[in-house]
Amino acid sequence: MNRTAAIGTCAWPGHLRPGALRWARSSAHYAATVAFYRDAVGLPVVGEFTASFGEDGTIFGLPDTGIQMEIVRAHPASAGPDGFDQLVLYLNDMEAVTTATAPLRKQGFTPDPAPHGYWAANGAVVFRDPDGRGVVFAPWVYGRDADPVDGAAGSPTPAPTVNPRCTSTGTTATAPRCVRCSRRPKTPERSWTATSTRAAFLSPGAAQMRWAICSSSRRVTLSS
């Protein structure tokens, strides 16, 4: 598949110590988009504002104020989203995907009939919000599991080894993750996985999410 997960450095950069993380999206269909994430996807609203410095917005918690997604009412001249503008929820299996997408289907939303080939090959289900941004429900946990398409092809998963950049004490060659930085040892198709609690019906495996941003120069992917 030629998809690799870069371990990078073992620890979060010392000069960056945010108490919370937020990313913002402008929406040309503000009311419908807020309703989509609040009522269909099921994300909790942790804040709202009206006419704040000329802007209207709604803030969603993932699952609380530690990680936030902000939807702001777009101005008339705002450009539309790119196809890689996505929120990805990695779930434990296909049964979890079915459970998580049930509220969307109940409200009349239908999956994207032609998702990106990577998501289609791996059995992910993609819905589009009213602005056209994707919400991907994936039936495996990136960083913990191999891509389903790789497993189906019989690709072996090498035994994990200790991340050579990690200097924490107490980590052995068979340890499943670093006891200090919580990163898993470096293996193909693996990355770090954070732990927290999400909305009960979503229940992402290992509480992992990803959102993708497409810039003019390269694609940037962020995971939490």
> Tens of pLDDT along 133-164?
999 998 988 778 888 888 765 544 443 433 44
SS3 content of the chain, % helix, strand, coil (to 5): 15, 30, 55
Tell me which of 43 and 222 has the higher pLDDT: 43
pLDDT in tens, 62-71: 888 888 899 9
Alpha-carbon distance 60 to 111, whole Å? 22
Burial degree of 177 (CB within 10 A; 0-12, 13-18, 19+): middle
Specify the pLDDT at position 156. Answer: 46
Mean per-residue pLDDT of the chain: 73
SS3 label, residue 137: strand
User: Rounded CA gap, 145 and 72, in Å?
Assistant: 35
Least Cα distance to 59 among 88, 27, 23, 85 occurs for 23
Report d(CA 212, CA 142) in Å as an integer.
Answer: 14
The pLDDT of residue 190 is 33
Q: CA 146, 1, 121, 139: dihedral to nearest 10 degrees?
A: 20
Residues 2-23 have a mean pLDDT of 66
Q: What would the CATH number be for the domain defined by 21-144+192-215?
A: 3.10.180.10
As given in the structure block, the two tokens for residue 66 are 């530690």
Q: Are 7 and 183 in contact (CB under 8 A)?
A: yes
DSSP 41: I
Nearest to 163 by CA among 150, 152, 177, 151: 177
Q: CA 215, CA 224: separation in Å to the nearest integer? A: 20
Per-residue pLDDT for 56 more than 90?
A: yes
The count of C-alpha atoms lying within 13 angstroms of the C-alpha of 183, restricted to the half-sphere facing its C-beta, is 23
The beta strands (E) that lie in the chain are given as 21-27, 45-52, 55-61, 67-73, 86-91, 125-128, 134-138, 204-214, 219-223
